[in-house]
Amino acid sequence: MFRLLASFFLGSLAVLGFAPFDWWPIVFFSLVGFLLLILSSFHKNIFLLGLFYGLGYFGFGVGWIQVSIHQFGISSYFFSYGATTLLVIFLSSYIGLFAVLLRLLANNGFHIAIASSVLWLAMEYFRGYLFTGFPWLSLGYSQIDGPLGGYIPIIGSMGCSFLVVLVSCLVVTCAREGRLPSIYRLCVLAGIFCLGILLRFHDITESRGSSLDVTLVQGAIPQEIKWHPNIRQPSIDRYKSISADHWDSDIIIWPETAIPAFRNEVREELRELSSLASETDTNFLLGIPRISAESGLKYNSIVSVGDGEQVYDKRHLVPFGEYLPAVPYLSRLLDYLDIPMSDFSSGSPSQALLEFPTYKIGVSICYESVFPALINQNASESNFLVNLSNDAWFGDSLGPHQHLQIARTRALETGRYLVRATNNGLTAIINHKGNVLEQATQFVPTYLRGHVQPKTGSTLYVRFGDRPLICLAAFLFVINFFFRSYLGSYRSRSHP
């Protein structure tokens, strides 16, 4: 029981490496302890050790999901905590499986560092894609301010996770041998960290033209009243009022679903904003849901208002929040939950960038920023990135801070500035190194004005994505397998 509690504690401790705590070194301490527990435990306890580590990791790290389920779904603590617990257990089972497979491979002669790194990479990969994916709390995000963050433009957040586990395993092998680490291991560890630091000073993308003056508007409309019909006009008025002194900006951006109505319901208001944008020569983006005139389908969209309207429809929707999987079987649940705007359709997988006379914008909406492959699709053609979000669903929790950290990682991966406009925070301007240049106060109606430098060129990660890393991991695994087989065969011949 002590080992299970220790594993749970170590999993909880790892969350301190992520925003808003940002104690990135503690992740290594957590992993080293966890790996030592796995490698020194009995077989029957292995899955439980991994499961308990996950319960601490995800229970503390994503427990904020309960807030949105309770406040904006079914207002029953039994239901909200129950649903959140089921999700945490499901996510924790990935780490339980990781622990079992690691112990199995270690017992069969696989090198611990290779086995652990490859297995953790596989776990994060499948967690990011199975059942629409939930790649939250990828270990690589915790290192954006640490030395290993320098590798992110080359191998992405998952590649950084691979390195975190690799470094932790090198420490574990030293600890298990019970003597001073060899010069070889010390050189490898020092080399990994030193190269990461040096990479931070290298710019892969180049500046293009002069910087742009950008204004992000944060309305801070409480989520619990946002969709009430009587709040629609006051919401629009608040956003217009905050924007009034900033029409001399190059770009004004309102967040996801800033206008709580479908586009066809507010034609007059949009006409006003379009005229104002044209008169002031300002490019104006806002989040607003729309209904397709051709198909009648509903989309969570970004609309460019002014000269030449452009539209982007959200491609990766949040299950149970924006759409209900298996609608024929669960439609009654959707009616019971009564979550506003929860019957959206996915936008086309291939959508053009928002294009203006002097720059192109790669746009995404809220949860889409969690998926690097989606952001990378058009990143090389864009000059900077825009993410519109509404993290009001998660209240004053860890969620919005973690989401901002993820957005910072996308900026670093792509070598692009990223501006993030949100309903109530965290609204921010992030540079191509993943550093927050400006950030608005959370939960306050306000604006954030700053400058964005358009960029050209592609990072290695944008060009190749995760493919080289996956090939490398597969190669290391196969080489280790054959080496283990050869060594076993050699020993059997030497000792008949």
Q: Are residues 222 and 80 in the same domain?
A: no
Taking residues 87-91, report their average pLDDT.
95
Task: Note whether 231 and 160 are same-domain residues.
Answer: no
Asked if residue 318 has pLDDT above 50, the reply is yes
Same domain, 177 and 285: no
We report the CATH number of the domain holding residue 386 as: 3.60.110.10
Q: Is residue 196 located within the same domain as residue 251?
A: no
The DSSP code for 205 is S
Catalytic member of 366, 368, 413, 433 = 366
Distance (Å, rounded) from C-alpha 438 to C-alpha 424?
A: 15
Beta carbons of 252 and 280 less than 8 angstroms apart: no
* 194 is a catalytic site residue: no
Does 17 lie in the same domain as 138?
yes
Own/partner pairs for 293-300, CB < 8 Å, 24+ apart?
297/345, 298/262, 298/341, 298/343, 298/344, 298/345, 299/344, 299/345, 299/347, 300/256, 300/257, 300/341, 300/344, 300/365
| Residue 366 annotated to the active site | yes
Torsion angle (degrees, nearest 10) of CA 304, 308, 313, 315:
-100
- Tens digit of pLDDT for each residue in 115-126? 999 999 999 999
Q: At a CB cut-off of 8 Å and minimum separation 6, what does 437 contact?
A: 428, 429, 430, 431, 450
Indicate the pLDDT class of residue 337, thresholds 50, 70 and 90: low
Q: Which of 124, 226, 256, 269 is catalytic?
A: 256
pLDDT at 28 over 70: yes
Query: Do 149 and 67 have their domain in common?
Result: yes
- Whether residue 236 has pLDDT greater than 80: yes
Least confident of 59-63, 69-73, 95-99: 69-73
pLDDT score recorded for residue 324 = 66
Q: Are 473 and 121 in contact (CB under 8 A)?
A: yes
Q: Quick one: 323 and 175 in the same domain?
A: no
222-236, 352-366, 367-381: lowest mean pLDDT where?
Answer: 222-236
Active-site hit among 124, 226, 298, 314:
314
Does the predicted model carry a pTM greater than 0.75? yes
Q: Kindly state whether residues 307 and 429 are assigned to the same domain.
A: yes
248 class by beta-carbon count within 10 Å (0-12 exposed, 13-18 middle, 19+ buried): exposed
- Checking if the pLDDT of 334 tops 70, the result is no
Helix (H) or strand (E) holding 50: helix 46-61
Please state the domain count of the chain.
2
Residue 222 and residue 192 in one domain = no
Provide the domain limits for residue 20.
Answer: 2-202+466-494
- The per-residue pLDDT for 491 is 46
- 256 catalytic residue (yes or no): yes
Instruction: Say if residue 60 is in the same domain as residue 190.
Output: yes
User: Does residue 286 share a domain with residue 171?
Assistant: no
pLDDT of residue 485: 61
Are residues 331 and 398 both part of a single domain? Answer: yes
